[in-house]
Structure 1
Amino acid sequence: MSGHSMSRRSFVLVGATLASTLGLGLVGCGGSGSTSTSTDSSASSDSSASSANLSGSVTAVGSTALQPLVEAAAEQFMEKNPGVQVTVQGGGSGQGITQIAAGSVQIGDSDVFAESKLDNPDDAKKLKDNQVCVVGMGPIVNPDVTVDDLTLDQLKSIFTGEVTNWKDLGGSDEDITVINRASGSGTRATFEDAVLGDTKVPDSFKPQEQDSSGTVVKMVASTKGAISYVAFSYYDETTKALKVGGVEPKEENVETNDWTIWAYEHMYTSTSPDDATKAFIDYMLSDDVQGSLVEQTGYIPITGMKVTRDADGNVTNK
C-alpha cells in the first residue's frame, strides 16, 4: 500500500478529485482509558445512507492514521449527498479529541480512547464513541537497514536511546536515527503502550518528531539508518516493514493479537450530532464502507477481530 503525505493540511473533498487521484486504494486505529463513553461499532444495514434533501457541512479532524479512510468514505458520501460538504483534516488524535470536546468540529478522529487525551476524563461522557475499524501499526526502517526482525525488548532499547547502532542488533555498523510522532499522536501512544509499557524515556533522549504519518514515511525513506512506526496503511515500497518477535505485520496476525501493536479507530461526535454528521457516521458504519472500503484501504473490520481490547488494554478472546 502506498503512504500519503497528510500533515495538518485540510482536505475539502469535492466531486471526483480524490477518487480520480487516489482511487479506492487509499490506505491507515484505541489505547488506554475508561469505558465511560457511548460506543457504536456495529455496521449499519443501510448501505446507501443518502438523501437528496440532506444538507450541511461536516468537519472531521484528528488521526492521520485514520485520515485516508475517512477521506475515501467522504468522497463517496458526498457523491450520494451532494448537499453536504465534508472537510477532513489531520493534526493528530489529541487535536481531534480536544476539538470535538470543545464543540469546534463535528467529528474528532482518534486512535485512542478520548479519556486518555482529555484534561478531565469525565468530559468523555459528553461524546459518542463510534468505532469504525481496527488498524495495525508497526516499525519501519530505511531500506539500507539489514535487520529484518526485532523483539519488543530490542524495539524498546531503540526508542529509549539505549541502543544507538544497528550493529548491536545484528545489523551493519550504522547509527540508528529514531523518528517519533509528535506527543499528541495516537499512533505514538499506541506504539509506546505496546512497546515501552511503563518504561520512561530518559529526558536526555530527544529524537526528532514529525506531525503526520505521511511525513514520517518520507523521512524514514530518505534517512540512512532511520526507524519509526506507522499504521499498516502507510507501508509502501520506499521503506521496509520489520517483523516483531518473528511475527509478520499482517492483518490476520492483528485479528488474533499475535501482532500486538494495534488500535481501534474512533470517530467521536457529540451525543446529539446534527443530521449531516449522523448520516456520515451511519455511512462509515454501512456496508458500503465496512463491507469493502475498510479492507481496500488497508484497515481491518472490527467484525474480523478474534479478540477484543478494552479501554484499559485488557485483551479477551471473542
Structure 2
Amino acid sequence: MNKTMKKMMVAAVSMAMLAGCSNSNSGGKGTVTTDGSTSMEKVIGALGEAYQQETGVGFTYNPTGSGSGIKAVQEGRCDIGLSSRALKDEEKESGLTETVLAYDGIAIIVNPNNTVEDLSLETIAKIYTGEIKNWSEIGGKDGEIVLIGREAGSGTRDGFESITDTEEKCQYRQELTSTGDVITTVSQNENAIGYASVASVKDTVKAVKVDGVSPTEETIKDGSYVVQRPFVLVTKTDGKLSDAANKFFEYVTSADACDIITASGVVPAYKEGK
C-alpha cells in the first residue's frame, strides 16, 4: 500500500506541478506521458517542470522501473519510456528505439558508520557473489555483509550486474523495488551494502570509491568511474509521437536542457558527442 500510494502521489504532484495553459511555444495543448526508471525521477521531473514553464503542456511520470517502462511503450500506454539501461537486441528488434539522454554513475553505497572507503571492481563482484562474506576480510569491522540490490527488471540492477560480471550470481539478502528503498535500507544497517544512482544518493549513506575513483560528474564524464550506465528515452521505432510528446522529446535532447540535466546530478549525453 505504501509503495502504491507513493507512486500515486508522485504522479499527482507531477500533474499538479506541470499542468497549465499553452502559450505560443506549445504548438497546441496536450499531455506528455512517461513511464519507467525510478532512478530517472530527479532528472525527468526537473525536465518536465521546465517544459511546462516553456509550453504550458501537461506532463506525467509513472515511476514503475525500467522493465515496466519499456513494456508500457510497447503496449502504447505512454508516450516515452524511461530506462536506466540500454535496450537489449530483442527489444530493439521488437520495434523500439533508444535515445541516450544522459549518463549516470551507479554508486556503491554503505552505511556511514562503515569504515571501508574504497573497493576494487573485483572485490565488489566477490562480495555480491558471496566469495567475501565479512567486512573484516576487506579491512572493515567484523560483521556479516548484508547484500542489498534491486528487483529483476531494474535498469540499475542490470547495469550493476553487467559491469561487475555478476549476472545471475548475486546472493542478495533483499531485492527492493526502488532506488529510495535501497538507500533507506542501507542507511539503517551498518553491515549493508547496496547500489543506487549517483544522482539519488543522500548523506544518509556513503558512496565508496571504486578502484580509487569517487563517483562524480567529472569522473563519470571522463569515464574514469567505471560503474556507470545510460539514462535512455524509449520510443516506438515506427510510431509517431503526439505533437506535445515530440516537442518534449526535442526539448530534453537539445542544448536548452543541458544545465537542467547537469543540475540533476547526471551528465548530458550530447556533451559526449552523442
Task: Name the aligned partner's letter for residue 241 of structure 1.
Answer: A
**Alignment match, 2:153:** 184
Distance 1:71 1:97 in 2: 18
Once the two structures are superposed, the pairs formed by residues 96-135 of structure 1 within 5 Å of their partners are: 96-115=69-88, 118=91, 121-123=92-94, 126-135=95-104
CA contact (8 A) 1:63 1:90 kept: yes
Relative to structure 1, is the Cα distance of residues 262 and 50 closer, same or farther in structure 2, using a 3 angstrom cutoff? farther
Shift of 1:276: 1.0
SS in 1 for 2:244: helix
Q: Once the 2 structures are TM-superposed, how far is the Cα of residue 129 of structure 1 from its aligned partner?
A: 2.2
Relative to structure 1, the CA distance from residue 116 to residue 191 in structure 2 (aligned partners, 3 Å threshold; closer, same or farther) is farther
Q: Runs in 1 of length 4+ with deviation above 2 angstroms?
A: 6-10, 14-17, 49-53, 79-82, 113-118, 126-130, 303-306
Q: Which residue of 2 aligns with 1:231?
A: 197
Q: Distance in 2 between matches of 1:206 and 1:235?
A: 20
**What is the match of residue 63 of structure 2?**
90
How much has 1:287 moved relative to structure 2? 2.8
2-side partners of 1:56 and 1:302: how far apart? Answer: 27
Higher helix share: 2
- Number of equivalent positions: 263
Please, which runs of 5 or more residues in structure 2 have no aligned partner?
none
Q: Paired residue for 2:109, among 113, 118, 140?
A: 140
Kept in 1: contact 2:134–2:144 (CA 8 A): yes
Higher mean alpha-carbon deviation, 73-82 vs 60-69, is at 73-82
User: Judging changes above 3 Å, is the alpha-carbon distance between structure 1 residues 252 and 128 closer, same or farther for their aligned structure 2 residues?
Assistant: same
- Show structure 1 runs of 5+ residues with no match: 1-5, 18-48, 309-318
**After superposition, what is the alpha-carbon deviation per residue over 1:225-257, rounded to whole angstroms, capped at 9, x for unaligned?**
111011110122110000011111122222222
Whole-angstrom CA distance in 2 between matches of 1:92 and 1:274: 23
Residues 116, 11 of structure 1: alpha-carbon distance in 2 compared, 3 angstrom cutoff: farther
CA contact (8 A) 1:97 1:117 kept: no
Amino acid at match of 1:115: K
Aligned twin of 1:212: 178
What is the alpha-carbon distance in structure 1 between the residues aligned to residue 223 and residue 26 of structure 2? 43
Aligned equivalents of 2:24, 2:233: Cα separation in 1 = 19
Q: From the superposition, tell whether residues 81 and 246 of structure 1 become closer, same or farther in structure 2 (CA, over 3 Å).
A: same
Superposition RMSD in Å = 2.4
1:299 aligns with 2:273: no
CA shift in 2, pair 1:7/1:141, >3 Å: farther
| Preserved CA contact (<8 Å) 1:7 1:213 | no
Distance across 2 between alignment mates of 1:50 and 1:136: 38
Q: Tell me: CA distance 1:303–1:122, structure 2 relative to 1, closer, same or farther (3 Å).
A: closer
Contact 1:138 1:191 in 2 (8 A): no
User: Contact 1:15/1:79 (CA < 8 Å) preserved in 2?
Assistant: no
Q: C-alpha separation between the residues in 1 aligned to 2:110 and 2:90?
A: 29
Contact kept, 8 Å, 1:62 with 1:92, in 2: the verdict is: yes
In the TM superposition, residue 206 of structure 1 has moved relative to its aligned partner by 4.0
SS of structure 1 residue aligned to 2:213: coil
Aligned residue for 1:248, secondary structure, equals coil
AA partner of residue 101 (structure 2): V
Q: 1:117 to 1:235 in 2, by over 3 A?
A: farther
Q: 1:88 to 1:50 in 2, by over 3 A?
A: farther
Task: Specify which of 17, 41, 65 is matched with residue 67 of structure 1.
Answer: 41
Distance 1:206 1:191 in 2: 13
Q: Does 1:275 align with 2:243?
A: yes
The alpha carbon displacement at 1:143 in A equals: 0.9
Kept after mapping to 1: 8 A contact 2:103/2:229: yes
**Residues in 1 aligned to 2:260 and 2:73: alpha-carbon distance in whole angstroms:** 25
1:251 has 2:217 as partner: yes
**CA-to-partner distance for each residue in 1:63-82, whole Å, 9 max, x for gaps?**
11112111111112122222
State whether residues 15 and 75 of structure 1, in contact with CA within 8 Å, keep that contact through their aligned partners in structure 2.
Answer: no
Which residue is 1:311 aligned to?
Answer: none
User: When the two structures are superposed, what TM-score results if normalisation uses the length of structure 1?
Assistant: 0.76
Matched, 1:261 2:212: no
Using the aligned pairs only, state the percent identity: 30
